[in-house]
Amino acid sequence: MAIDSILISKLHSLLGENRVITHLDELIVFECDGLTLHKQMPDAVVLPKTTEEVSEIIKLCQTNHTPFLARGSGTGLSGGAIAAEGGVIIQMSLMNQILKIDYEDEIAVVQPGVINLNLTNEASPDGYHFAPDPSSQKACSIGGNVAENAGGPHTLKYGVTANHVLGLTVVMPSGDIVELGGKIEEFTGYDLVGVFVGSEGTLGITTEITVKLTRNPEGVKTFLATYNTINDASNTVSKIIESGIIPAAMELIDNLIIQAIESHLKAGFPTKADAILLIEIDGVKSTLTEEAKRIESICLSQNAVNFQEAETMEERDLLWRGRKEAIGALGKVTPAFYTNDGVIPRSKLPEILEFDLEIGKKYGLEVAHICHAGDGNIHPIILYNPDNKNEIEHAIKISEAILKKCIELGGALTGEHGIGTEKLSSLGIMYSDNDQNQMLKLRKVFNPTGLLNPGKIFPEGAKCGESRINQTINKGGWI
Amino acid sequence: MSQKLSKNPIYTSFGIEEKHLLQECIHCGFCLPSCPTYSENGKEMDSPRGRLYLMEAAMNGEIDISERFFEHIDLCLVCRACETACPSGVQFGKLMEITRDITLSVRDKSAVSKLFSNFILSVIIPSHRWLSTIFKLGWLYQKTGLHWVTKNTFLKNILPTKIRNINESIPPIPFKRFAKNNLQTFHAIGEKKGRVALFTGCVMDHLFPDVHAATIRILNWNGYEVVVPSDQTCCGALHVHSGDGETSERLKNINLSAFSDISFDSIIVNAAGCGAQLKQYKHANSKNDLAYSFSKKVKDLTEFLATVPLRNPEFPLDLKVVYDEPCHLLHGQGISVEPKQIIKSIPGITLLSLIESDTCCGSAGSYSITETEMSIKVLERKMNHIASTGADCVVTANPGCQIQLEWGVRRRKLAVEVLHIAQLLDRAYRGDPNYLLD
């Protein structure tokens, strides 16, 4: 679609030429986000600095019947930030100010372009942090976290983004500016914040976010449990939860991923282990010793061959760096990989891990795992050669089969990455037409023209987009 | 191949090796917040991931090599902070150097920048005689008060903004460079533990002779004899960053030969940018034994001091200090702990933490001259952070950073001293500031 030149000139007069990008040689860098599987170039990219500018941009797009969507750091893994049907990308990177931190009420007000970890860094000298901690937290924006309802390793105890958002300033697809929620947790009337968080940027564009700050725990203990079989490791996960302990985080990493981490980052994981569990507990110091003992005895009862505690802060940070940057390290052992974020009930963890390995064998590709095991978020990682078309097709087939199995086991298609363009074709496995129609009706209330972020979540809305998206296999991503 | 594509040197010259280097980027975006230019303007094309994407698109013939392409390639500081942030180990700096090198021939550069690349880079910088003449003129320019006049009177308003900024950034110029035309030897004090050679470089030698003097005194006090080979020249880093691989190679060979017939344990470098470049001599031609053994001996001053039992600094310095990490020390050579340890070892000093101390100051070799506007934005951000600490002294380990930070301090009229780490340690050893200088 060639974009209307009148729209461009209006955008120029609104923002100045420097904040409007329209040349093809530059727009190409916006054709994909963290998911390189799907590509589609926008017709223009604009960089607003204020809520009012966002509102004006949206009004101009509506008048010109041009699709539009918001983009943060472009680290998402489901294609949520690509212009699936062309149009204007509203790039939020210049709206990156922390507007207010209020420790008395334990809240912060931020613009959507603020990097997740920057908020924690700002609050940490005062003993606070922002709890949602996706692995991409060094780079991803809080606006993006809101759109995708991002999780992370510490989701297990602290909940996902939705549990930490109190209020939102939203520019509606009409251009109207509305306030949803507020500064406290009680909602009057419908919980529209709950509707908005996780709507993958299809209901409106947020320009100010009021989030909860979480007090840093008094004490933290991080453990590394080593196993000779992945089955023992996954059984341990269920046993710990059954015992009534809720760890702050519980991550399962298999041998292939350990090898990758140790070849590049050298975080101190045992390279001979079939699997490890990275378990963290936090809270009042006096209670941690007892909890640690119980966790150790459960791990050992499930055949852990080694159980050790990170002794220093540096050791702990290194283990977490290994975990969070593991996917990057994979670049050293495979030219490309594809990952999804299917979820299963925790008790089914051994079953799905076995299934993944089998389906991988069937198609002749290796499947590795790095799971948020505590909440059943499995992250299978399918290794393939991007120059081999056969392997690309097989990687996609394996991923689809795993997602189908997740639903069969009573799980979900996505734990934290969203549906985006990536899992459009799988939505029907989980939701009936009636279910989907009900959600579409809701979308229509907020987004009646459908011009805001079309081609996402629902296969119905993507008919037009499908023909435009250039599908190549993903090179990798963050989990 | 279309005519357009045949004029795209990235399309025609990038081979398997470059493709492989580019493929190591998995598009995760982890590098974005580490990039000073992305932090300023928020544009994906001015982020490391975006620049790699542009290179890949050019390699695949999807985009033209236009002025627009070069705008984003040129705006990169090559600070390599993205390499530290990258979990995949993408060699961004190397890819940027290759891109600049192979596109140099098709660039439609202005007469001014052609003059810069052809004359300044390949004729002036490699020649100590040329440099001495120019710096003598600079010395005269300041001594006669002309510099003061162009900075402080109505004249400054007639200068174009860019020239005015460059003029204001000129630091005090000494009368003489440090190195001599003959081999110099400085003897160890007390028991001799070894013998090292000092790499003197170009800017450091002509603008900061006192840093070289301090470096030698520190080494002498720690029991090392220091030799200064006379035929050495610029390391070639400026050339590689500007895409002039040819001159860089020539300078490398001059340096290899200058250090070849003297025996020493290590080559000590006190300029982070030069150290990173000298360590890379071996990469360019790994089979060249001379280059390999040369690079292996190269040690940053702080890196070297961390391996020896450091003589205790005796004289307390009552200073609140911040350490601003030179990019090519931290990101280029992975050296960060050593300088901080040295600073902490000095009695009386309080080392304060500095926000974004791992981010570029905007100097970046010739960047402050070629991309003045962005350079100033990056500097201003740095100065905000420095000012907020309330430090009396900012410590660096690279001449480019020292010039830039000194300018930042002058612009803000801050009561902050800018020191090379050698100058700080030397002071704690209570060095006589006039020793070794005539």
Token pair for B155 = 């004249």
Question: Residue B66: closest CA among chain A residues belongs to which residue?
Answer: A25
| Nearest 10 degrees: Cα torsion B413, B419, B423, B425 | 110
Q: CB within 8 A of B350, min separation 6: which ones?
A: B319, B320, B321
Token pair for A314 = 């540096």
Q: What is the pLDDT of residues A368-393, one digit of tens each?
A: 999 999 889 999 999 988 778 899 88
Low-confidence ranges of chain B (pLDDT < 50): 437-438
Token pair for B417 = 């001293």
DSSP class of B170: P
**Which secondary structure element, helix H or strand E, spans residue B192, and what is its range?**
none
Q: What is the pLDDT of residues A173-199, one digit of tens each?
A: 999 999 999 988 777 889 999 999 999
Distance from CA of A44 to the nearest CA of B (A): 13
d(CA A35, CA B298): 42
Q: What is the pLDDT of residues A61-79, one digit of tens each?
A: 999 999 999 999 999 989 9
A334-417 CATH pick, 3.30.465.10, 2.30.40.10, 3.30.70.2740, 3.40.50.11820: 3.30.70.2740
- Mean residue pLDDT across chain A: 92
Q: Looking at the predicted structure, is the pLDDT value of residue A312 above 50?
A: yes
Q: Looking at the predicted structure, is the pLDDT value of residue A324 above 70?
A: yes
Judge if A219-329 and A334-417 fold alike in CATH terms: yes
Token pair for A252 = 């399962």
Topology (CATH level 3) of domain A98-215: 3.30.465
A139/B31 Cβ within 8 A? yes
Q: Looking at the predicted structure, is the pLDDT value of residue A471 above 70?
A: no
| pLDDT score of A463 | 42
Token pair for A289 = 């010793």
Question: In 3D, which of A155, A159, A153, A157 has the Cα closest to residue A325?
Answer: A153
d(CA A44, CA A225): 50
Has domain A219-329 been given CATH number 3.40.640.10?
A: no
Using CA atoms, how far residue B313 sits from A159, A164, B325, B351, B431, in Å, is 52, 51, 22, 16, 11
Q: Is the pTM of this model over 0.95?
A: no
Using CA atoms, how far residue A55 sits from A70, A90, A334, in Å, is 12, 11, 44
ipTM for the whole complex: 0.92
The CATH architecture one would assign to domain B320-428 is 3-Layer(aba) Sandwich (3.40)
Rounded to 5°, the CA angle A57-A60-A62 comes to 110
CB B248: neighbour CB atoms within 10 A?
27
| pLDDT score of B116 | 67
What's the count of helices (H) and strands (E) in chain B, helices before strands? 27, 9
DSSP A370-404: EEBGGGTB--EEEEE-TT-HHHHHHHHHHHHHHHH
Residues in A closer than 8 angstroms to B28, CB to CB, are 34, 75, 136, 139, 327-328, 476-478
| pLDDT score of A465 | 38
Least confident piece of the model among A159-163, A234-238, A326-330, B138-142: A326-330
B87/A325 Cβ within 8 A? yes
Q: What share of chain B is helix, strand, coil (3-state, %, to 5)?
A: 55, 10, 35
d(CA B289, CA B285): 9
DSSP A96-160: --EEEEETTTTEEEE-TTSBHHHHHHHHGGGTEE-----TTTTT-BHHHHHHHT---TTHHHH--
A32/B68 Cβ within 8 A? no
Q: Are B394 and B386 in contact (CB under 8 A)?
A: yes
Q: How far is Cα of residue B246 from the mean position of the Cα atoms in its chain?
A: 19
Rounded to 5°, the CA angle B161-B163-B166 comes to 110
DSSP B32-53: GGG-HHHHHH--GGGSHHHHHH
The CATH H-level (homologous superfamily) assignment of domain B3-106 is: Alpha-helical ferredoxin (1.10.1060.10)
Token pair for A417 = 């990455």
Q: CB within 8 A of A7, min separation 6: which ones?
A: A44, A60, A61, A64, A66, A88
| pLDDT score of B435 | 52
Residue whose tokens read 């279309």 = B2
Report yes or no: A21 at the B interface, CB cutoff 8 Å. yes
Q: CB within 8 A of A147, min separation 6: which ones?
A: A70, A72, A76, A80, A198, A199, A200, A201, A206, A418
Q: What is the pLDDT of residues B12-28, one digit of tens each?
A: 888 888 998 998 888 88
Confidence of residue A461 (pLDDT cuts 50, 70, 90): very low
Confidence of residue A338 (pLDDT cuts 50, 70, 90): confident
Residue A253, classified by CB atoms within 10 Å of its CB into exposed (0-12), middle (13-18) or buried (19+), is buried
Token pair for B121 = 């880079």
Distance from CA of B77 to the nearest CA of A (A): 19
Question: Residue B50: closest CA among chain A residues belongs to which residue?
Answer: A29
* Domain boundary assignment for chain B: 3-106, 320-428
d(CA A380, CA B327): 37
| Half-sphere CA count of A354, side-chain side, radius 13 A | 10
Amino acid at A189: G
Question: Residue B61: closest CA among chain A residues belongs to which residue?
Answer: A25
* Domain boundary assignment for chain A: 98-215, 219-329, 334-417
- Judged by DSSP in three states, A73 sits in coil
A26/B42 Cβ within 8 A? no
Using CA atoms, how far residue B69 sits from A384, B122, B369, in Å, is 32, 25, 20
A476/B28 Cβ within 8 A? yes
Q: Looking at the predicted structure, is the pLDDT value of residue A329 above 80?
A: no
Q: Are B45 and B11 in contact (CB under 8 A)?
A: no
Q: What share of chain A is helix, strand, coil (3-state, %, to 5)?
A: 40, 20, 40
B86/A24 Cβ within 8 A? no
d(CA B422, CA B339): 10
Residue whose tokens read 């725990």 = A217
Burial B32-41, CB ≥16 within 10 A → b, else e: bbbbbbbbbb
- Judged by DSSP in three states, B424 sits in helix
| pLDDT score of A478 | 47
A328/B86 Cβ within 8 A? yes
DSSP B117-134: IIIIIIIITT-HHHHHHH
CB B275: neighbour CB atoms within 10 A?
31
Amino acid at B316: P
A476/B42 Cβ within 8 A? no
Question: Residue A266: closest CA among chain B residues belongs to which residue?
Answer: B87
